[in-house]
Structure 1
Amino acid sequence: MQVLRAVVTSGSITAAATNLGYTPSAVSQQVAALEKQAGLPLLERVGRGVRPTEAGRLLSEHAGIISGQVARAETALADLRARHTGLLSIRYFATAGATLVAPALARLRQEYPGIRVDLKMTDPQDPLPEVTEGRADLAVVVHPRDRSRQGIHFVHLLDDAYRAVLPRGHRLAAKKVLDLVDLADEPWVRSDGPGPCLDTVVEGCAAAGFTPDFAVESEDYATAQGFVATGLGVSLIPVMGLTRRHPGVAIRKVRNPEPIRCIHAAVRETSSSRPALRGLIAALRDVPQHPAH
C-alpha cells in the first residue's frame, strides 16, 4: 500500500520507482499484486503518467493513515526501550503515602514525564503478593521478616523511629527523653493492627522487660492520638505517623531501646533494570525526613 501511495503521490510509476529506489518493473508488480488482492483496478493511465481510480485513492488515503500510525508506534517503542514511557505499578501503606511516596512521585514526574503510574494502597499485613505475583513493580513495605522472597529485591529506604505519645500534662511529659521501661506500668493505646508495625512495638517493650497493657485498640494513628489526649493511655507512634499532631498530646523520644521500623522498597527483579524505577527508588531514598520531637 505504501508503494501505491508513492505512485499516486508521484504521478507515475517511473517517478515512484526513483523515489523508492526500486525498478519500475518491481513497482508495477507490487501494484498488480495489490490490484489482485483488492479485486479492482487501482490506477489508470493518463498520458505518460497514471492517476488513481476511486479504489486506488481510497487505499492511498488509508496507506497515509497507516504510515502515520506506524511512525507513532515506532517512536513509542523507542521511548519504551529507553524507558522514558510506560507504566510503573506502585503499592504503599497508609503513612508512607503523603510523607514518602507523594514527594518521590513528584520528582519522578519531572524526570520521566512520559511515565504513567498505577498507585494503590496495599494490605499492611501482607504487602508483597502483588509484587511476587507480578501485578506491581514496587511496594513500599515495613521491615519484612522474610527477605528471601524469590524474584524480589529489597532496598532499604529509611528507619522510622517511634516516639512516646503522652497526654499533655502527664507526669512523664516533664522528661525530654524517656526510657521505654518508664511506660511499663501505664495503660496503653494500641496504634496499629496486627502486623510488622505492632510487632516492632511489642518486641521493643519485650527488650525493655515488659509487655504493654493495651487498654484501648486503634488501627489509625490520628485516632490513637485522640484516645491518648483524653487520658485513656500512652502510645508509641512512628515519626511518619505524627505528621498531624493532636494538640492534646506530648511527644517524647524514647531509648533503651528506641523502637524503629525499617522501611524498604520491595522491587520485582524483572523490573529492576528500568531507569524510571531506579529513579523512583533514588527519589524515595532522598525524601527529607522531619523528626517529631
Structure 2
Amino acid sequence: MALTDASLTALRVFREVAERGTLTAAATALGYTQSAVSRQIAALERAAGAPLLERRHDGVRLTAAGRIVLRRAAAVVDQVDAGARELAGLPGEPATVRLGWFASAGAALVPEALAALRRTHPAITVTTREGSTPALARALRAGTVDLAVLASVPPFRPPDTEQPALELRTLAERSLRVAVAAGHPLARGDYIDVADLHGQRWIASPESNGMGAWPGLDERPEIAHAARDWLAKLGLVAAGQGLTTVPVTLAPAVPDGVRVLPVRGGPQEQRRLLLARLPGPMPEPVAHLAQALRRAAL
C-alpha cells in the first residue's frame, strides 16, 4: 500500500491530531468519536507503511515519518480547500495570513499590529486564534497558522523539540509585573518591594501550578481565586480579592481600579515575547504582518 492511497479524510484527521496533541482533542474538534479518529490514523499508517505517531501518557508525538507525512498532508489539504473555493466561485485567498497568539498578547499587541497593517496594507486579510504555546507550536507544524506570538520564560527553552527547529525572533524581553487594586496599600508607590509580597493572597490560573503568584517567592503562595480568563483575574484584583502577575503586554488593557507595578528586590523575573514560524522563505503578506508585530512590540 502507498501513501497515495490515503484518503483526504485521513489526512485531515492526521493534521488535526498533530495540532491538538491528543486523539481525544482531535475527535472533539472534528465532531468524531475517538474510535473513528483511531481508525483513520491506523489506515494512514498502513498506507504510509510506518508508524506516524508515538503514543505517550500525555498524548501523541510525531515520529520522523509522521513529520514528513504532516508536511505533505498540510499542503494537500490546503490545495484541496483552495480548489473547492475556486469551484464554488469564491475568491481565492492569496493575501490571507493566519496568526496565533497567547492570551495576553491579544489585549493590546495583536490589535495594535492589525490596525497598523490595515492602514499600510489593506488588501491583506489576517485571521487569528488564541492558544497556549504548546498548542500554537503544534499548529505551526500542522500548517494551520503561519505565524505565532509566543511567551517564553527562563531558561528560555525552545517551544518544542521537533525538527526542524522553529524559527524564533525575540520581539521584546521585559520584566514580569504585579497587578494590585488601586486602593491596596501596595499601590501607593511606584514599585513593590519583593519582601512586601510575602503573605499576600493571589489570583492564579487553575491548571498552572500557581501561575499568577509571584514566581520568586520563597513561600507557598496562598491562592485565593483560580481563573483562566485575564478579564476575570483583573476584575478580582480590582475588587480587592488578591494580586496577580501580569506581563507588560497586558498593562495597557487593565481596567480602572487596577495598578500594574514593577517589583524590586530578588531575582529579575524576565519574560520574552517571541515570533515563531516554520523555517523557509517568508511570503510577502506574512513578512508584512511580522513587521507590524515587531513595531507594535516596541
Checking the alignment, whether the CA contact within 8 Å between 1:141 and 1:265 is kept in structure 2 is yes
Checking the alignment, whether the CA contact within 8 Å between 2:107 and 2:250 is kept in structure 1 is no
Checking the alignment, whether the CA contact within 8 Å between 2:108 and 2:253 is kept in structure 1 is no
Distance 2:150 2:226 in 1: 22
The structure 2 residue matched to 1:265, chosen from 258, 271, 275, is 275
**How has the CA–CA distance of structure 1 residues 248 and 267 changed in structure 2, closer, same or farther, with 3 Å as cutoff?**
same
Displacement, 1:193?
A: 4.9
The structure 2 residue matched to 1:245, chosen from 242, 250, 254, is 254
Per-residue deviation, residues 98-123 of structure 1 (Å, max 9, x unmatched) = 41222223333444444333322224
Which deviates more from structure 2 when the two are superposed, residues 126-135 or residues 208-217?
208-217
Aligned residues: 202
Task: Give the match for residue 202 of structure 2.
Answer: 188
Task: Give the match for residue 65 of structure 2.
Answer: none
**How has the CA–CA distance of structure 1 residues 129 and 264 changed in structure 2, closer, same or farther, with 3 Å as cutoff?**
same
Partner amino acid, structure 1, of 2:230: Y
Checking the alignment, whether the CA contact within 8 Å between 1:161 and 1:260 is kept in structure 2 is yes
Displacement, 1:233?
A: 1.8
Checking the alignment, whether the CA contact within 8 Å between 1:104 and 1:287 is kept in structure 2 is yes
SS at the partner of 1:225? helix
Bigger Rg, which one: 1
Displacement, 1:174?
A: 2.9
Per-residue deviation, residues 244-273 of structure 1 (Å, max 9, x unmatched) = 333333432212334332111111213x43
Distance 2:183 2:107 in 1: 30
Which deviates more from structure 2 when the two are superposed, residues 216-225 or residues 107-116?
107-116
The structure 1 residue matched to 2:221, chosen from 202, 212, 232, is 212
**How has the CA–CA distance of structure 1 residues 210 and 268 changed in structure 2, closer, same or farther, with 3 Å as cutoff?**
same
Task: Give the match for residue 31 of structure 2.
Answer: none
The structure 2 residue matched to 1:146, chosen from 158, 171, 196, is 158
Checking the alignment, whether the CA contact within 8 Å between 1:90 and 1:138 is kept in structure 2 is yes
Distance 2:253 2:117 in 1: 26
**How has the CA–CA distance of structure 1 residues 164 and 109 changed in structure 2, closer, same or farther, with 3 Å as cutoff?**
closer
**How has the CA–CA distance of structure 1 residues 102 and 181 changed in structure 2, closer, same or farther, with 3 Å as cutoff?**
same
Is 1:233 the equivalent of 2:242? yes
Partner amino acid, structure 1, of 2:242: G
TM-score (norm 1): 0.58
Checking the alignment, whether the CA contact within 8 Å between 1:162 and 1:260 is kept in structure 2 is yes
**How has the CA–CA distance of structure 1 residues 136 and 226 changed in structure 2, closer, same or farther, with 3 Å as cutoff?**
closer
Per-residue deviation, residues 223-255 of structure 1 (Å, max 9, x unmatched) = 222222333222222232233333333432212
Per-residue deviation, residues 158-199 of structure 1 (Å, max 9, x unmatched) = 234332222333232333221223212111121x45459x65
Checking the alignment, whether the CA contact within 8 Å between 2:95 and 2:285 is kept in structure 1 is no
Task: Give the match for residue 24 of structure 2.
Answer: none
Task: Give the match for residue 90 of structure 1.
Answer: 99
Identity among equivalent positions (%) equals 26
**How has the CA–CA distance of structure 1 residues 123 and 245 changed in structure 2, closer, same or farther, with 3 Å as cutoff?**
closer
**How has the CA–CA distance of structure 1 residues 172 and 284 changed in structure 2, closer, same or farther, with 3 Å as cutoff?**
same
1:154-165 paired onto structure 2 within 5 Å: 154-165=168-179
Checking the alignment, whether the CA contact within 8 Å between 1:96 and 1:240 is kept in structure 2 is yes
Task: Give the match for residue 126 of structure 1.
Answer: 135
Displacement, 1:131?
A: 0.2
Displacement, 1:138?
A: 0.9
Displacement, 1:288?
A: 5.4
Structure 2, unmatched stretches of 5+, are 1-85, 87-91
Is 1:221 the equivalent of 2:236? no
Distance 1:164 1:102 in 2: 23
Partner amino acid, structure 2, of 1:150: Q
Structure 1, unmatched stretches of 5+, are 1-72, 74-79
The structure 2 residue matched to 1:179, chosen from 182, 190, 193, is 193
Checking the alignment, whether the CA contact within 8 Å between 1:86 and 1:114 is kept in structure 2 is yes
